[in-house]
Amino acid sequence: MGCCESSFIRGRDSHHKTNHNHHRNSNSNSNNNDDNRLTQTNNGPPQPSNGTNSLAGGAGGVPGFSEFSLAELKVATNNFSSDFIVSESGEKAPNVVYKGRLQNDNNRRWIAIKKFTKLAWPDPKQFADEAWGVGKLRHNTLANLIGYCCDGDERLLVAEYMPNDTLAKHLFHWENQTIEWAMRLRVALYIAEALDYCSNEGHPLYHDLNAYRVLFDENGDPRLSCFGLIKNSRDGKSYSTNLAYTPPEYLRNGRVTPESVIFSFGTVLLDLLSGKHIPPSRALDMIRGKNILLLMDSHLEGNFSTEEATVVFDLASRCLQNEPMERPNTKDLMTTLAPLQNKPDVPSYVMLGIPKHEEGPPTPQHPLSPMGDACSRMDLTAIHQILVMTHYKDDEGTNELSFQEWTQQMRDMLEARKRGDVAFRDKDFKTAIECYSQFIDVGTMVSPTVYARRSLCHLLCDQPDAALRDAMQAQCVYPDWSTAFYMQAVALAKLDMHKDAADMLNEAAALEEKRQRGGKGS
């Protein structure tokens, strides 16, 4: 646990100087950061990067595919409470989708759970085989399938949870801002790339592709739901939308083909262009009549390239051909859409108008105290409340002063600390930093609590480097103080050093557990 000199500080500059832009160039070999969604090719604009294909996990820290118990999923969803339903049609949906949170000691990730209707898949082996087939897929443009459950008549799929709604919500039911043009082009490219990956991996059929199947992850990047790779039932329909949006060949023979998927992709392109769900036949009539500008979403207020829109309209028209063999394939979609990407360096969350996601340290292996829980969630407000309530009880024994040391300088120093405490309590964090610095600079007394408080002030003032230094100094003064480790964990997470943050969080929790068994710590 080294106190005053840490490998975290020695290695911090190299970590922090790593380019965390949304796109990396082709010289980067890292596929582990969610920000590395696109890679630069030599032929032009960024392309979505390839994921991995492994049951042991893969893209962006996705867990391996596994079987879940019904009990686990009931706990995750509060017994499938209606409060956890995220299906667009709520409880009226034929197969309801819930969000849930796993409660395992080592895994508290959010998940999406699709609960099939009773007897949708009467043969559990057939359902399991379907799930395992899709569970092999791992890609950064998919909301990946991470598990399934067969228990009695219950059939459930478990996938990564995407917290930022669907394309339909952002296109048709937006509140603050519509999706800008460059983001619409990115959505089209990502979904084309997802379909191409699935096709190359032996899963060319996607059932009922529409704007509700396109989701946005914590970084605002678009993902294609893996649920569409499995039918709603063994013998069920592949399309549940209005017949006006259904491929004509499906109406004739009831079969989904790879060409049917391309037709549905064309309807999503129309959604992106118009901001409305327009029947393909009507849209094609307007395209043939050269009324393209009338089709464009008026909420874009003209902020789009007519040349780019014409290319996308042409591609949509080709996708919507009545004759399946006249439609483009997934490679054609990629080739057409890739050159249109015009904001490769702008993160998706910026274009989508959502806050930047800040990843907290993973849940440690040991039980967490309120302080540990607040730090694992990076809840700075809760940390502040705890430090105010704890006051200076953890400083006991760190200073023993003789009568002769109670000088005027000492009284001034304690007065500076008192002013810092008042400012800290009142959330005047800049003043608190100044006052606590006066106390620390005198050097007659050392207080781990003052270092911890100043560390939090630095975090709240967006100074994670200084916060990390103070947390480490608190550890120097009090080597077994869990709060010092917790504050280091938060600072490391703010510096995007998440593995180191997780290690620190685990050390802090272990110290707390030791204290509960009779050792010193807090």
Question: Can you tell me the mean pLDDT for 178-201?
Answer: 97
Active site residues: 208
So what's the pLDDT on residue 520?
41
Torsional class of 119: left (φ above 0), alpha (ψ -120 to 50), beta (otherwise)? left
Spatial distance between the Cα atoms of 284 and 291, rounded to a whole number of angstroms: 10
So what's the pLDDT on residue 52?
35
So what's the pLDDT on residue 409?
64
C-alpha Rg value of the chain to the nearest Å: 27
Residues 102-117 as b or e (16 or more Cβ within 10 Å = b): beeeeeebebbbbbbe
Question: Can you tell me the mean pLDDT for 319-330?
Answer: 94
So what's the pLDDT on residue 89?
58
User: Whose CA is closest to 195, among 247, 288, 122, 266?
Assistant: 266
Share of the chain above pLDDT 70, in %: 77
So what's the pLDDT on residue 280?
81
Residue 334 vs residue 13, higher pLDDT: 334
**pLDDT tens digits, 278-308:** 888 777 777 776 677 888 999 999 999 999 9
Q: Residue 240 pLDDT > 90, yes or no? A: no
Question: Can you tell me the mean pLDDT for 500-515?
Answer: 84
Residue 106 vs residue 448, higher pLDDT: 448
8-state DSSP, 27: T
Spatial distance between the Cα atoms of 159 and 95, rounded to a whole number of angstroms: 15
Spatial distance between the Cα atoms of 223 and 37, rounded to a whole number of angstroms: 11
So what's the pLDDT on residue 329?
97
So what's the pLDDT on residue 3?
41
Q: Give the model's confidence band at 46: pLDDT under 50 very low, under 70 low, under 90 confident, else very high.
A: very low
Q: Residue 26 pLDDT > 90, yes or no? A: no
So what's the pLDDT on residue 366?
59
Q: Residue 5 pLDDT > 60, yes or no? A: no
8-state DSSP, 107: B
Q: Residue 403 pLDDT > 50, yes or no? A: no
* 8 A C-beta contact, residue 491 and residue 471: yes
Query: Which residues touch 462 (CB under 8 Å, ≥6 apart)?
Result: none
So what's the pLDDT on residue 55?
43
Domains of the chain: 68-160 (3.30.200.20), 165-352 (1.10.510.10), 370-397+404-517 (1.25.40.10)
So what's the pLDDT on residue 35?
35
Question: How big is the CA angle at 5 (ends 391 and 433), to the nearest 5 degrees?
Answer: 35
Q: Residue 27 pLDDT > 60, yes or no? A: no
Question: Can you tell me the mean pLDDT for 178-204?
Answer: 96
Spatial distance between the Cα atoms of 484 and 14, rounded to a whole number of angstroms: 23
So what's the pLDDT on residue 521?
41
Spatial distance between the Cα atoms of 195 and 325, rounded to a whole number of angstroms: 18
Residues 180-192 as b or e (16 or more Cβ within 10 Å = b): bbbbbbbbbbbbb
Q: Residue 480 pLDDT > 70, yes or no? A: yes
